[in-house]
Amino acid sequence: MGSEQLRFIAHELVEQMRKSVTVDWQHKSSARAKMRVLVKRILKRFGYPPDLEQEAIQTVLAQAEILMREVSGH
């Protein structure tokens, strides 16, 4: 799975996070745990190889955080 697909996954994660705008996703550890669960579900839906999952989760979370900063203006 290439970086373009991981960017798409990060974008989908951000869209799902936007649905929960009452949560400060960048500061709450429980929110970060929920993000990891969302990423795992999205990766599974895209058929991502389980042995590469942890690295992909970190990549997607980093990209999602960048997108969230851009969206929130911070």
| Tokens 């969206």 belong to residue | 71
Handedness of CA 13, 60, 36, 23 (dihedral sign): negative
User: Domain total for the chain?
Assistant: 1
pLDDT tens digits, one per residue of 9-52: 777 777 777 776 555 655 667 777 887 888 888 888 888 888 98
Whether residue 61 contacts residue 36, with contact meaning beta carbons closer than 8 Å, is answered with yes
pLDDT of residue 39: 83
pLDDT of residue 51: 92
pLDDT of residue 27: 63
- CA max distance for the chain: 35
pLDDT of residue 26: 57
pLDDT of residue 21: 54
pLDDT of residue 16: 76
Domain holding 42, by residue range, is 3-72
